[in-house]
Structure 1
Amino acid sequence: MIHPALVKKQRIILCILLVLIIMTIVLGMGIGDASLSYDRLLPTLFGKGSFTEEFVLFSIRLPRIIITFLAGIALALSGAILQGITRNDLADPGIIGINSGAGVAISIFFLFFPIEVGSFVYMLPLLAFAGALVTAILIYIFSYQKNIGLQPVRLVLVGIGFSMALSGVMILLISSAEREKVDFISKWLVGNIWGDDWPFIWAFLPWLLILIPYTLFKANRLNILSLSEPVAIGVGVSLEKERISLLLTAVALAASAVSVTGGISFIGLMAPHIAKSLVGPRNQLFIPVAIMIGGWLLLVADTIGRNIIDPSGIPAGIMVALIGAPYFMYLLLKKQA
């Protein structure tokens, strides 16, 4: 049973995060290349704005804000799952190569297959999932030892190796590609949120509507998997079955996110850690906080990045990396201490 004081603390933190998210969304709706005054936001939202105001808000700003927030949620939840099933605080879908696997699949399809505009949007998450799944399976195989089981530190090291190798594959793929396609993949590599239109939201949303409730349903299993293997087996948990199902969930969440945002790392690393420091390690408590933090962090990174330098701004992936890379080093040094 979870102590009522912790539940109360979680609800207060969620309310604070909700306020921060709303403030960031309002700020993001009002600033950009085509400014939209804040006193015109509500009238425009309710259909009483000019053609230009409605175009800027509904065709440019809102889709990007929504897809960014949803992607942050998916990456944070993917990181929380990976850290639970590997018992490694450094696990993140970007760091251990899952995002790179998704990127290679998307690059191959984009470069060598005919693209149909109508179906391309809905194919992207599936293609990304296929590439990420193959990568995750290979990482799992190389990290697993028959007599010992899954090696958490080994998994991170193997994943980093795969990430670097797959990034090299992507660079090799684009070295002889057309300039237009090179520009697209280059933007993907640095985490430039490009899927900023309503069809991408409709393609992405079903993944979250299915996988978030499933993960919350499995929260207690994640608590058990975070313990040692003998303890998990002792309480009757089928380790491999649960790990595989949750690994598939983490891969699907990360792949669906990066298919529209590009190669963004560190959200899945930072958000679960911050959430655990606030409400403790119980998955039922920290997962809702982590997904809110993940969505907010990516929103803040994109809002700052797209407005800090004219005309094109700084990709959200770079803004997140500026914070996340030092945080990763801090956690690595803390783990070794």
Structure 2
Amino acid sequence: MAHLQAAPDRNHRTARAAAVITGLCVLILLAFIISMNTGVIRLAPVDVARTLFGGGTDQQKLILFDFRLPRIVISLLVGAGFAVSGAILQGVSRNALADPGLLGINAGAGLAVVLYISFFPVKEEAPVFFMPLLALLGAGTAAALVYLLAYKKEQGISSTRLILIGIAVAAGMGALMLVLTIRLDPKNYQFVAVWLAGSIWGTSWKYVTAVLPWMLVLLPLVFYKARVLDVLHLGEQVAAGLGVAIERERRRLLAAAVVLAGVCVAVGGGIGFVGLIGPHLARLLVGPKHRYLLPASALTGALMLLVADTLGRWILQPTEVPTGIVVAVIGAPYFLYLLSRSKA
């Protein structure tokens, strides 16, 4: 009888998740269309459609294909990467407040990039593909430091200790970044200041090709590990009883979260809260099962960042508000709300 009742419930959850994911895809498509029409130089929807299908003037082709479309694609990739990274961290730590920013991963990636910018010119060709590797190195260093400090042989990983140590490491690395920016020349300082605020600064297809391969490899791999995340979320004793190699799987998932966040920081700067809010909104929509939660988180994060970037380009035209500031205006109150509800 219980089995017969479980089947309709499972089918209902699957149908609801499919409807939510379809709805998110439709919203992303609408945001995509609006973003293509948003900017200092306005393009009417008819002009956008004509240009996409091979028509349009040279100026319209330049604006759409060389500036707006790469930026839109990067916003989608970075938003999805941050949100999936946050979903992994929340699942592994079993803490609703975990995200790459709070655990120091973003700060570590940012510190590595700032170190590079402090000694080499910003406009060189090499950093386009080199910066994700630098950010990955910094993010991995920060994550390893937080993990080692939070791990206790007798108790394992305490989610509260993980968050507190992550905040301390992020604060220390953030302070070091500020010290490094003091010695920068005005040109590099302006770039770093905007980048640290969270700006989608890579507006060419080179930056898309620097990020896309990482996403194509890591996102399917993480989706494949959805069942492992479900088991880990039940607790270490239950996971061990079900035959899961806890530490090995935890390290693999944390490594995937670190790589996703590090690569996203390399081209998106210090954008916070997407990794926190995206998984929470997805969880409200599709429930806690990671089979549905991870793809929904990716779509939610992509939608959030695309909308935030579009608003940042529209609010104070002809100037731009960094995307990270727009996200923070939305995310900070929500974080305080989550903190007030936390039992930690």
TM-score range, shorter chain: over 0.9
Give the distance between the partners of 1:21 and 1:113, measured in 2 at CA. Answer: 37
Give the distance between the partners of 1:312 and 1:116, measured in 2 at CA. Answer: 22
Give the distance between the partners of 2:123 and 2:175, measured in 1 at CA. Answer: 28
Give the distance between the partners of 1:293 and 1:70, measured in 2 at CA. Answer: 11
CA displacement at 1:119 relative to structure 2: 2.3
2:287 paired residue number = 280
Q: Does 1:129 align with 2:133?
A: no
Residues 215-230 of structure 1: pairs in structure 2 closer than 5 A? 215-230=222-237
Q: Does 1:14 align with 2:18?
A: no
Paired residues of 2:286 and 2:293 also in contact (CA < 8 A)? yes
1:255 paired residue number = 262
SS in 1 for 2:76: helix
Letter in 1 for 2:34: L
Give the distance between the partners of 2:122 and 2:192, measured in 1 at CA. Answer: 15
Paired residues of 2:122 and 2:188 also in contact (CA < 8 A)? no
Per the normalisation by structure 1, the TM-score is 0.97
Deviations 1:95-140 (A, max 9, x none): 2210010000001111114678332211111100000000000001
Which residue of 89, 109, 120 maps to 2:96?
89
Residues 166-181 of structure 1: pairs in structure 2 closer than 5 A? 166-181=173-188
Give the distance between the partners of 2:56 and 2:285, measured in 1 at CA. Answer: 41
Which residue of 151, 163, 171 maps to 1:164?
171
2:107 paired residue number = 100
2:61 paired residue number = 54
Number of equivalenced pairs: 337
Give the distance between the partners of 2:167 and 2:326, measured in 1 at CA. Answer: 20
Q: Does 1:334 align with 2:341?
A: yes
Give the distance between the partners of 1:118 and 1:171, measured in 2 at CA. Answer: 25
Q: Does 1:199 align with 2:209?
A: no
Which residue of 224, 229, 239 maps to 1:232?
239
Give the distance between the partners of 1:159 and 1:24, measured in 2 at CA. Answer: 34
Give the distance between the partners of 1:249 and 1:287, measured in 2 at CA. Answer: 13
1:36 paired residue number = 43
CA displacement at 1:207 relative to structure 2: 0.3
The answer for unaligned runs of 5 or more in structure 1 is: none
Per the normalisation by structure 2, the TM-score is 0.95
SS in 2 for 1:118: coil
Q: Does 1:266 align with 2:270?
A: no
1:306 paired residue number = 313
1:184 paired residue number = 191
Give the distance between the partners of 2:44 and 2:133, measured in 1 at CA. Answer: 39
Give the distance between the partners of 1:115 and 1:275, measured in 2 at CA. Answer: 37
Letter in 2 for 1:9: R
Letter in 2 for 1:245: R
1:119 paired residue number = 126
Letter in 2 for 1:305: G
CA shift in 2, pair 1:210/1:198, >3 Å: same
Give the distance between the partners of 2:123 and 2:286, measured in 1 at CA. Answer: 46
Q: Does 1:73 align with 2:73?
A: no
CA displacement at 1:244 relative to structure 2: 0.7
Give the distance between the partners of 1:291 and 1:115, measured in 2 at CA. Answer: 30
CA displacement at 1:310 relative to structure 2: 2.6
The answer for unaligned runs of 5 or more in structure 2 is: 1-6
CA displacement at 1:188 relative to structure 2: 1.4
Deviations 1:62-104 (A, max 9, x none): 1111100110000000000001111111001012210010000
Letter in 1 for 2:212: L
Give the distance between the partners of 1:310 and 1:4, measured in 2 at CA. Answer: 48
Which residue of 305, 314, 318 maps to 2:325?
318
Q: CA RMSD in A?
A: 1.3
SS in 2 for 1:281: coil
Deviations 1:180-208 (A, max 9, x none): 11111111110011112100000100000
Give the distance between the partners of 1:317 and 1:151, measured in 2 at CA. Answer: 29
Deviations 1:24-50 (A, max 9, x none): 111111121011111111110011110
CA shift in 2, pair 1:125/1:26, >3 Å: same
